[in-house]
Amino acid sequence: MSIDESTAARVAKLARIKVEPEALPALAGEFNTILGFIEQLNEVDIDGVEPMTSVTPQVLKRRADVVTDGDQQAKVLSNAPDAREGFFAVPKVVE
């Protein structure tokens, strides 16, 4: 399976990473190298093998469904690039 420039552009868009058009050929080339390496997995007989979900068999612990944390607005916002009036501020989303 080979990745062309338009696929590379689509992946960059999905990942929300801006890639300049002139960088796309090199990027597509790198993807192809890595995917070529990954293609080896097609040699493995995986019939009847379950995909791993947890490397150590364990049952997730449960706890009472109650509020255990909160009231930390100032701490939550302390690292925001732009925080106003107790909110994270971002560029206008709705026209």
Partner 1 sequence: MSKLNELTLSAARDALRAGETTSKELTEACLGAIEGAGALNAFVHHTPEIALERAAAADARLANGDAPAMCGLPIGIKDLFCTKGVASQAGSRILEGFLPEYESTVSQNLADAGAVMLGKLNMDEFAMGSSNETSTYGNAVNPWRRGNDDAQLTPGGSSGGSASAVAADLCLAATGTDTGGSIRQPAAFTGTVGIKPTYGRCSRWGIVAFASSLDQAGPMTKSVRDAAIMLEAMCGHDPKDSTSADLPVPNFEAALNGDIKGKKIGIPKEYRMDGMPEEIETLWQDGIAMMKDAGAEIVDISLPHTKYALPAYYVIAPAEASSNLARYDGVRYGHRAKLDQGDGITEMYEKTRAEGFGDEVKRRVMIGTYVLSAGFYDAYYNRARRVRTLIKRDFEQVFAQGIDAILTPATPSAAFGLGEMTDADPVAMYLNDVFTVTVNLAGLPGIAVPAGLDKQGLPLGLQLIGQPWAEADLLCVAHVLEQAAGFVAKPAKWW
Site for partner 1, rule CB under 8 A: 1, 3, 8, 11-19, 27, 30-31, 33-35, 37-44, 46, 49-56, 58, 60-61, 63, 72, 75-76, 78-82, 88, 90-93
Contact 12, 27 (CB under 8 A): yes
d(CA 83, CA 78): 8
Residue number with CB closer to partner 1 (75 or 86) = 75
C-alpha Rg value of the chain to the nearest Å: 23
CB of 89 to partner 1, least distance (A): 9
Q: Pick between residue 6 and residue 38 the one whose CB is nearest to partner 1.
A: 38
Minimum gap (Å) between residue 55 Cβ and partner 1: 3
Please name the residues in contact with 24: beta carbons below 8 A apart, sequence gap of 6 or more.
Answer: 5, 8, 9, 12
